[in-house]
Amino acid sequence: MSNSINSSADSFLVNISRLQARVDRAQEQISSGLRITKASDDPDQVGAILQATSDLARNIQIGRNLDRVKAEVDGSEQALSTAITTLERASVLGAQGANFSQDAASRRGIAIEVQSLLERLVANANTTVDNRYVFAGDSDQIAPYAVDLTTVTGTTPYTGSAATREVEDPRGGTFPISQSAQEIFDAPGTSVFAAVNALRVALETNDEAGITASLNDLKIAHGHLSDSLSFYGTVQNEVADGARVVSALTLRLTTSLTDLREADLAEASTELVHARFHLEAAFSARARSPRTSLFDYLG
């Protein structure tokens, strides 16, 4: 009889423990809004939750990187647009200087303006965004060029480095985001600086043949500068597309994570009511059960 009574008590305690666990779990879901707060809540879903969390964090970081790159690329594109306008002005001045009616004095006057255009182009090459020289390649704390009219190009040698930086695409892979000032403004055979400086020198020395020759060099330089502008336009499009993908992926991953983790509050409330009802019923039934011992059977 003793064993039977102990067995009944043990069973009662086990059932009470299970019902209390159901109450506690339902209350926790209602208060936190989450169905899963620890691995033991649903071991089968832990892997999926960890993967979704990791994917979401990575996607958000890619978005932040693209935001930073956007400012740089937009600044670079604007600088190149301005540089092309400056170069076009140099071509106009070159055409004026090539006119047979110009004399040495007037050409020297034009040369002064051409020199100011060269200085503007150097300033374009030294464009900064967020305290970074965007055309200095990977050495973005160093101004790429300075004016030096004693050289063929009218500038100091390039002090930056190669541009190797890339940004991650949310769809996979990476894409380059910049070119160096050396590639853009001083490429062999298409040097923007050399073409403008050659025009300046020819105007100063009243060299008609040199002025005429520089016009063709300016045309070639203009085409090269336009190619660089197109490169940055393409990067702008890739950054914008990437940002749209990040936004869509963030929404999808957030929804997926919510579905995996969040509680159904209506279901949790119903479960709480049922668990409490069964818990109270168990205590009530236990209270009504006969309480006998060995002494009740002794005369």
Q: What is the pLDDT of residue 263?
A: 46
Contact present, 115 and 200 (Cβ < 8 Å): yes
- Per the model's pLDDT, the better-predicted residue between 7 and 244 turns out to be 244
pLDDT at 12: 61
Cα 212 from Cα 208, distance rounded (Å): 6
| Residue-level pLDDT at 13 | 65
In angstroms, the CA 77 to CA 87 distance is: 15
Which of the two residues, 200 and 172, has the higher pLDDT score? 200
Tokens of 83: 């540089």
State the Cα–Cα distance between residues 161 and 31, nearest whole angstrom. Answer: 57
Residues 239 and 73 sit within 8 Å (Cβ to Cβ): yes
Stretch among 224-228, 242-246, 280-284 having the lowest mean pLDDT = 280-284
Q: Which amino acid appears at position 138 of this protein?
A: D
CB atoms within 10 A of CB 287: 8
CA distance 13 to 229: 78
- Residues 63-108: tens digit of each pLDDT: 999 999 999 999 999 999 999 999 999 999 999 999 988 999 999 9
Mean pLDDT of 247-276: 66
| Residue 131, SS3 per DSSP | coil
Q: Taking residues 38-42, what's their average pLDDT?
A: 54
Q: Rounded to an integer, what distance in angstroms lies between the CA atom of residue 246 and that of residue 59?
A: 6
Q: Taking 60 as the threshold, does the pLDDT of residue 129 lie above it?
A: yes
Integer Rg of the chain from CA: 38
What's the confidence (pLDDT) of residue 257?
Answer: 72
pLDDT above 60 for 42: no
**Structure confidence at residue 196 as a pLDDT band (50, 70, 90):** very high
